[in-house]
Amino acid sequence: MKIHSFKVTPNLPENMKFLEELSNNMWFAWNWPAITLFLRIDEQLWEKSQRMPKWLMATVSQQRLEELSKDQDFIAHLNFVEKLYRDYQNNKDTWYNKVKDQGKENFLTAYFSMEYGIGEGLPIYSGGLGMLSGDHIKSTSDLGLPLIGVGLFYQKGYVKQVLNKDGWQGEEYPENDWAHMSVEAVHNEQGNNLTVDIPLGRETVKAMIWRVPVGRTSLYLLDTNLPENAPAHRTITEQLYGGDRENRIKQEIVLGVGGVKALKAMGMNPTVYHINEGHSAFLLCERIIEIMQDKKISFNEAKEIVWATSVFTTHTPVIAGNEHFDFNLVKKFMEPYVAQLGIGWDAFLDFGKETPQSPMFCMTVFALKLSAYLNGVAKLHGVVSREMWKNIWTGLSTSEVPITSITNGIHPASWVSHEYSELYRKYLFDGDDSLNNFDQSVWNKVENIPAEELWQTHSIRKEKLIKHIREKAVRQANRLSGNVNLARQASKVLKEDILTIGFARRFATYKRATLLFKDPERLAAIVNNPQRPVQFVFAGKAHPADTAGKEFIKQIYNMMLDPRFKGKIVFAEDYNMNLARYMVQGVDVWLNNPVRPMEASGTSGMKAALNGALALSILDGWWDEVGPCDFSWSIIGAQSYQSDEQRDAVESQALYNLIENEIAPVYYDRDQDNIPQKWIKKMKTSIKTIVPFFNTNRMVQEYYERFYTKAHYYGNILKTEGETAALAAWRQRIAANWPRVSIVDVTGNIDRTVLVGETLKFKARVTLGDLKPEDVVVQTQFGLRSLGGGFDSAKDFSMNMVGKEGDVYLYEVEIHPETSGRQDYAMRILPFNKALPHPFTPIYVRWEM
Ligand SMILES: *Cc1c(COP(=O)(O)O)cnc(C)c1O
């Protein structure tokens, strides 16, 4: 049977035409009045639509539309939403318009990520990385920051989790219903689909481009599922993280290389490129090639421009989580690019090798070596990343490895419940509902929310969570057994007045979803405490290939059936944005217990805090920047353990102790109106401490101030005629002369005790070969020696050139020690060039020997 399709669009009454525009912009996803407008069109259809307004509009009857067009209330609501939308889209008074300065006229950042969590109706995400990219994009829209997102257009959504009756995770791969998602094909001047050609080894694949409007920001998605492509090429973008290694490298070439080509084909000229996790790092190659061709300059010169304008964010402290490819695979598909770079295979592969002996090509290393601005996603993750990748910068102290950190955030408007949003609107924002102001003074006003009202709001959300979980449980029971009794039991799980702790995350083993079950006896006593009972909601998917993660799910599932835990510990199937929202908005406490320091940042706890939940967390990721504190609970482990077994035993007991002795008593401490005043005090402190900082508006501002503006600035310098040639020539002179650069001797050896603030004079005599003093900086590094060699923390003092004796230059500096105790110092020489954002690539550093 051959089935033909064609598309019919709704014939919208004149006064409802705005619905079409509204349906085509993901802006609705974080604007409750827009969502209620869709609900009002047809509540049941909206629930069924998976939050795809275009599907709703295509499904609702013409009669219903006609009816609504005559409904004054509906039209008033629609006009209100239209005004909100237009005011937002046309707002000139944005943060960016206030901070941008001269010379930023063409500023534009291109942001590349493998996944984006913008909304349920656009399932091109799997987990935290996608949520972060989605929230990043939304905040750029709020802030008015010029940025475009680039990603892939997957034919299938990410794995749907379906448990069997033994609790074993099965997977389904639903087809995405693109015709009804908020996307539009990008056309060329002739009105046909704009496509780009992407070489993959000896073959070429075509990709078309889709645009997703996200408020004011656009996200572009590449799609290889075109009839012109060979069957094996059509499926490259079939599924996020799907297929074998060969398909993965093809996906990453399509994303990185194809993304750069697509931007060019659309006439865009980004001045800054942000590589969000290593998947898209091949964009660096394509950019170098394009610049070599456009400017007719050498690889070395083009690389200077690309390096100075590229930002790279690493997200995973687990080595295996960093993308690695076999050299053969890289050779097979990157051949045409390496030929154009003209540097030969060995030199190319070196960019992807951490050390000369590295057996594989690592995308993270490739990005680290070719980007000037590098960061991890929380302070602790910065420390871990510097340690993890220090081999790339031999000669530097680990503390000086140029990977800094910018702590992740969330986009609050996307994660706040509308009930809480209403509270904030009323008590914090005087009726303005943009939830866009993160001034501490504004958030301090949570203290003005009456305790009963806050508690009431929280209770409403908790009821909704429990209702949602019950409905899911009933559906699951019906699917698995059809047994009426089981379905009836499922409809009664959890209770509204019991302390509820939530845990939802990817079931990667380091997240330790089963830590709570380490001592089932102890847990049973806590759960069934007659005065102070506790219940738990779990959710999370294991990667389809992760058997250990699936074992964890099965273990929790079986615990759930244990009579001691029945109806009190629930595992909710298929964790996604929707379930995440119910959970973070409804639980009392958000539990997070990864193995420290494996959690790069984590963001779900921030979502929970925004909605008044308190934290119970290991001091890892972002929480390491908050806890220990008096408004939530930190699981404090030992610095080191003899075994994983011992660590889990110690930390699970700490967890039980906190729940039993600290959390439950405060939760159940009620006043005469049954209000937990002490608990509510903690909720308020938590909200005002966490929300003003742990949000993506602050995060994007940091990326802008610390990275994007610099990248734009240095990119402009290098645009000047002759600058790259001068820089490349300078690098050659540095390389040629470096063996002759040395510190001959130093004076300043201090063999007595000095006073704080006293003036100390340090002198060095140095040789520079044929280099000039302006080619280098000579520094005294002053700080604390680290056990592993180098400094733990240090301050650099540039020394002044004060004279020359023959070939030897004399340098000195005066230093006033600011703290007492032991002080260490060392002297060194680094290359210096004002056209470089920093001197640490490739690394030349000469220490006193
Ligand atoms: C927020 C979120 C995540 C990331 O949360 P973590 O704290 O990093 O585990 C993952 N998946 C979904 C669906 C989310 O909403």
Q: How far is the CA of 307 from the centre of ligand 1 (A)?
A: 31
Same domain, 498 and 644: yes
Tokens of 214: 């996200």
Q: Is the pLDDT of residue 749 over 90?
A: no
Q: How far is the CA of 346 from the centre of ligand 1 (A)?
A: 39
Of 694, 718, 753, the residue at which a domain comes to its end is: 694
Please report which confidence band the pLDDT of residue 8 belongs to, taking 50, 70 and 90 as the band edges. Answer: low
If one counts the domains in the chain, the total is 4
Q: Which of 411, 587, 604 to mutate to test the pocket of ligand 1 (most atoms within 8 A of CB)?
A: 604
- From the CB of 469, is ligand 1 less than 6 Å away? no
Domain membership flag for residue 20: yes
Q: Which amino acid residue places its CA nearest to atom 1 of ligand 1?
A: 604
Q: How far is the CA of 576 from the centre of ligand 1 (A)?
A: 8
Helix (H) or strand (E) holding 500: strand 499-504
Domain membership flag for residue 673: yes
Torsion-angle region of 409 (φ positive above 0: left; ψ -120 to 50: alpha; else: beta): beta
Q: How far is the CA of 599 from the centre of ligand 1 (A)?
A: 12
Q: How far is the CA of 800 from the centre of ligand 1 (A)?
A: 51
Same domain, 438 and 306: no
Beta strands 499-504 and 846-847, pairing class:
unpaired
Least confident of 39-43, 482-486, 651-655: 482-486
Q: Which of 116, 126, 131, 690 to mutate to test the pocket of ligand 1 (most atoms within 8 A of CB)?
A: 131
- From the CB of 127, is ligand 1 less than 6 Å away? yes
Q: How far is the CA of 824 from the centre of ligand 1 (A)?
A: 43
Using CA atoms, how far apart are residues 375 and 187, in angstroms rounded to an integer? 36
CA torsion sign for 657, 662, 663, 669 is positive
Q: How far is the CA of 177 from the centre of ligand 1 (A)?
A: 24
Q: Residue 228 sits in which domain range?
A: 95-158+181-405
Q: How far is the CA of 581 from the centre of ligand 1 (A)?
A: 10
Q: How far is the CA of 285 from the centre of ligand 1 (A)?
A: 32
Domain membership flag for residue 22: yes
Same domain, 490 and 353: no
Q: How far is the CA of 590 from the centre of ligand 1 (A)?
A: 12
Closest atom of ligand 1 to CA, residue 579: 13
Using CA atoms, how far apart are residues 349 and 762, in angstroms rounded to an integer? 43
Beta strands 217-223 and 147-152, pairing class:
parallel
Instruction: Classify residue 569 as exposed, middle or buried by CB count within 10 Å of its CB (0-12, 13-18, 19+).
Output: buried
Same domain, 103 and 202: yes
Domain membership flag for residue 721: no
Q: Which amino acid residue places its CA nearest to atom 3 of ligand 1?
A: 128
Least confident of 228-232, 500-504, 801-805, 843-847: 843-847
Same domain, 136 and 211: yes
Using CA atoms, how far apart are residues 284 and 69, in angstroms rounded to an integer? 52
Using CA atoms, how far apart are residues 319 and 321, in angstroms rounded to an integer? 5
Same domain, 118 and 193: yes
Beta bridge partners of 214: 217
Of 69, 90, 111, the residue at which a domain comes to its end is: 90
Q: Which amino acid residue places its CA nearest to atom 4 of ligand 1?
A: 128
- From the CB of 309, is ligand 1 less than 6 Å away? no
Domain membership flag for residue 396: yes
Using CA atoms, how far apart are residues 219 and 137, in angstroms rounded to an integer? 8
- From the CB of 593, is ligand 1 less than 6 Å away? no
Of 642, 675, 694, the residue at which a domain comes to its end is: 694
Q: How far is the CA of 150 from the centre of ligand 1 (A)?
A: 21
Same domain, 339 and 365: yes
Closest atom of ligand 1 to CA, residue 604: 7
**CB 155, CB 541: distance < 8 Å:** no
Q: Which amino acid residue places its CA nearest to atom 6 of ligand 1?
A: 602
Tokens of 334: 């990157």
Q: Which of 581, 585, 591, 603 to mutate to test the pocket of ligand 1 (most atoms within 8 A of CB)?
A: 603
Percentage of residues in the chain having pLDDT higher than 90: 84
Same domain, 279 and 325: yes
Using CA atoms, how far apart are residues 356 and 259, in angstroms rounded to an integer? 30
What confidence tens digit (pLDDT) does each residue in 139-186 have? 999 999 999 999 999 999 888 999 998 899 999 998 988 889 999 999
CATH of the domain at 634: 3.40.50.2000
H helices present in 677-814, as ranges: 677-690, 696-702, 709-719, 723-737
Same domain, 684 and 802: no
Q: How far is the CA of 202 from the centre of ligand 1 (A)?
A: 39
Only one residue has tokens 């353990």, namely 641
Mean pLDDT of 279-306: 96
What pLDDT, on the 0 to 100 scale, is given for residue 783?
Answer: 85
What pLDDT, on the 0 to 100 scale, is given for residue 360?
Answer: 97
Q: Which amino acid residue places its CA nearest to atom 12 of ligand 1?
A: 127
What pLDDT, on the 0 to 100 scale, is given for residue 6?
Answer: 67
Residues 6+ apart with CB under 8 A from 650: 637, 638, 641
Same domain, 572 and 494: yes
Q: How far is the CA of 694 from the centre of ligand 1 (A)?
A: 14
- From the CB of 602, is ligand 1 less than 6 Å away? yes
Domain membership flag for residue 717: no
What confidence tens digit (pLDDT) does each residue in 354-408 have? 999 999 999 999 999 999 999 999 999 999 999 999 999 988 889 999 999 999 9
- From the CB of 315, is ligand 1 less than 6 Å away? no
Residues 6+ apart with CB under 8 A from 814: 759, 760, 761, 762
CATH of the domain at 769: 2.60.40
Beta bridge partners of 144: none
Same domain, 519 and 578: yes
What confidence tens digit (pLDDT) does each residue in 679-731 have? 999 999 999 999 999 999 999 999 999 999 999 999 999 988 899 999 999 99
What pLDDT, on the 0 to 100 scale, is given for residue 103?
Answer: 61
- From the CB of 128, is ligand 1 less than 6 Å away? yes
Please report which confidence band the pLDDT of residue 824 belongs to, taking 50, 70 and 90 as the band edges. Answer: confident
What pLDDT, on the 0 to 100 scale, is given for residue 102?
Answer: 63
Same domain, 459 and 601: yes
Angle (nearest 5°) at CA 107 between 183 and 726: 130
Using CA atoms, how far apart are residues 143 and 246, in angstroms rounded to an integer? 39
- From the CB of 585, is ligand 1 less than 6 Å away? no
Domain membership flag for residue 716: no
What confidence tens digit (pLDDT) does each residue in 109-123 have? 999 999 999 999 999
Please report which confidence band the pLDDT of residue 7 belongs to, taking 50, 70 and 90 as the band edges. Answer: low
Mean pLDDT of 193-214: 97
Closest atom of ligand 1 to CA, residue 599: 8
This prediction has a pTM of 0.96
Please report which confidence band the pLDDT of residue 756 belongs to, taking 50, 70 and 90 as the band edges. Answer: confident
Q: How far is the CA of 4 from the centre of ligand 1 (A)?
A: 40
What confidence tens digit (pLDDT) does each residue in 63-95 have? 999 999 999 999 999 999 999 999 999 999 999
Domain membership flag for residue 5: no
**CB 22, CB 54: distance < 8 Å:** no
Q: How far is the CA of 516 from the centre of ligand 1 (A)?
A: 19
